[in-house]
Amino acid sequence: NIKKYVPQALSEVPHLLVLNHENQGPIGFMGIAEQHLEMLFVADEERGKGAGKALLQYGIEQYSVHDLAVNEQNPLAKGFYEHMGFTVYKRTERDEQGNPYPLLYMKRGVERRNFP
């Protein structure tokens, strides 16, 4: 059901960066608002090849990205962000639309805290 939120999310993100592969076209994108990573998507067939790392590193270096929120039910994304130096500092029971999908809020350079 996330598809219905994508147009609204894209319209609210001031910085949308697209990663293109020279032969394939777009393979990933990220949206940044202020210093917050709003979204990061990489095509399934490109995962594990460095596209997400390249996008996020660019966001950190060029836009000073230092925080993000990730769905708790996405352990691969959480692990990726941890690998990139982000740590969970807060957890909510519901997502930003009020649905029962817990969010983990993560920052770079904060002390690790344990959440159930």
Task: Give the domain ranges of the chain.
Answer: 1-65, 66-116
What are the structure tokens assigned to 105, written together?
Answer: 């809020």
Which of 102, 115, 35 lies closest to 70 in space, CA to CA? 102
Average pLDDT, the chain: 87
Give the residue from 104, 112, 116, 114 showing the smallest Cα distance to 37: 104
Stretch 105-113: mean pLDDT = 78
1 pLDDT exceeds 50? Answer: no
- Judge: domain 1-65, CATH 3.40.630.30: yes
